[in-house]
């Protein structure tokens, strides 16, 4: 074969386009399918499961802080809705002042249809559980006030909870009737003797203290005086202060 012919063949081989590298998942050279859609669907499923839980917890928190007030006088039926709302809000605030509860309710509104026979029930949503417990606990003092003797306050309960409360009160009445004196009361959803309440409170405080001690036993030091109270009081290590960021690392 002549030399010029061999040189032309070599140039043709060098100018050929290299064949593409075969795809690892097939011979057609297509790219592997992406997992992004499945990941997005998983995220959507997680969000759908998470949002209803947050909504339920929010509803439970609001319901837990609801009080029902009986006996608040109403304005005449021909009053404007805005005047009626402002009137009921002002009266609820005056009741809280009389009870010595410093709180601004989240919402105050009448329940049911308007009637001239008797005032509507009033629902009050308080901002925290501490207020929720403080208001009924001090409501008995209203009986000693001339302007608020007709006011009655109770917690907002479901039908099942109202039935449970009724059954507990009936049990207390039966026990006290058989004992001929008021020895039993309803305490935190249970029928207990009045003399047992201090010991129940002490046991509750001790259980809370042991709970906090178990959590923080490896994180910081406890003051002996505050150990029984269940609060963590770190002391200053040598060479460091409580404001030294390295102390909290």
Indicate whether 52 belongs to any domain.
no
Domain match, 164 and 234 both: yes
pTM: 0.50
Cβ(95)–Cβ(148) below 8 Å:
yes
Instruction: Please tell me whether residues 71 and 84 are part of one structural domain.
Output: yes
Kindly state whether residues 177 and 131 are assigned to the same domain: no
Separation between Cα atoms, residue 237 and residue 231, nearest integer Å: 18
* 56 within domain boundaries: no
pLDDT at 179: 74
Place of tokens 């509507």: 120
Asked if the structure places residue 11 within a domain, the reply is: no
Contacting residues for 9 by C-beta, under 8 A, at least 6 apart: none
Q: Are both 111 and 134 inside the same structural domain?
A: yes
Find out whether 112 and 60 touch, Cβ atoms under 8 Å. Answer: no
Q: Are 117 and 177 in the same domain?
A: no
Look up the domain containing 240 and give its range: 158-249
Q: What is the rounded CA–CA span in Å between residue 212 and residue 243? A: 23
Note down pLDDT in tens along the chain; length 249 residues: 555 555 565 555 555 555 544 444 444 555 455 555 677 677 767 666 655 454 455 555 555 688 999 999 999 888 999 999 999 999 999 999 999 999 999 999 998 877 777 788 999 999 888 888 888 888 889 988 988 989 999 888 888 888 888 888 888 888 888 876 668 888 877 888 888 888 888 887 777 666 555 555 544 544 444 555 554 444 444 444 444 444 344
CA-to-CA distance for 234 and 244, rounded, in angstroms? 13
CA distance 237 to 240: 6
- Residue whose token pair is 């003092």: 141
Q: Are 113 and 90 in contact (CB under 8 A)?
A: no
Total H helices, total E strands in the chain? 7, 6
The answer to whether 208 and 197 are in contact (CB under 8 A) is no
Our count of domains for the chain comes to 2
Could you tell me if residue 49 is inside a domain? no
**Residue 121 DSSP code:** E
Same domain for 143 and 67, yes or no, is yes
At 16 the pLDDT is 54
Give yes or no: residues 104 and 87 share one domain: yes
Give residue for tokens 């509104």. 109
User: Residue 239: which region, alpha, beta or left (left: phi > 0; alpha: psi -120 to 50)?
Assistant: left
In a domain, residue 119? The reply is yes
* Interacting residues of 42 by C-beta distance below 8 A, sequence separation 6+: none
β-pair partners for 70: 152
Tell me how far the alpha carbon of residue 25 is from its chain's centroid.
51
Instruction: Say whether both 171 and 88 belong to one domain.
Output: no
pLDDT value of position 80: 94
Domain boundary among 123, 156, 189: 156
| SS3 at position 92 | helix
Tell me if 177 is assigned to some domain.
Answer: yes
Last residue of a domain, one of 136, 156, 176: 156
| Concatenated DSSP letters of 227-246 | HTTT---PPPPTT--TT-GG
């Amino acid at each position: 074969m002549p030399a010029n012919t061999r040189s032309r063949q070599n140039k043709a081989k060098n100018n050929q386009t290299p064949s593409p590298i075969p795809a690892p998942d097939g011979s057609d050279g297509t790219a592997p399918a992406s997992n992004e859609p499945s990941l997005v669907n998983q995220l959507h499923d997680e969000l759908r499961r998470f949002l209803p839980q947050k909504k339920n917890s929010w509803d439970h928190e609001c319901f837990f802080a609801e009080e029902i007030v009986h006996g608040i006088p109403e304005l005449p039926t021909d009053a404007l809705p805005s005047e009626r709302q402002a009137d009921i809000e002002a009266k609820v605030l005056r009741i809280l002042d009389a009870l010595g509860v410093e709180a601004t309710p989240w919402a105050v509104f009448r329940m049911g249809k308007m009637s001239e026979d008797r005032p509507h029930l009033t629902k009050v949503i308080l901002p925290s559980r501490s207020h929720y417990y403080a208001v009924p606990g001090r409501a008995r003092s209203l009986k000693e006030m001339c302007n608020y003797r007709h006011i009655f306050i109770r917690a907002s309960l479901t039908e099942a909870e109202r039935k449970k409360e009724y059954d507990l009160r009936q049990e207390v009445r039966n026990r006290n009737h058989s004992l001929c004196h008021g020895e039993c009361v309803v305490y935190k959803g249970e029928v207990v003797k009045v003399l047992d309440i201090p010991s129940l409170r002490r046991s509750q405080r001790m259980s809370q203290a042991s709970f906090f001690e178990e959590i923080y036993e490896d994180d910081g030091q406890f003051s002996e005086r505050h150990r029984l109270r269940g609060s963590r009081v770190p002391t200053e290590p040598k060479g460091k202060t409580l404001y030294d960021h390295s102390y909290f690392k």
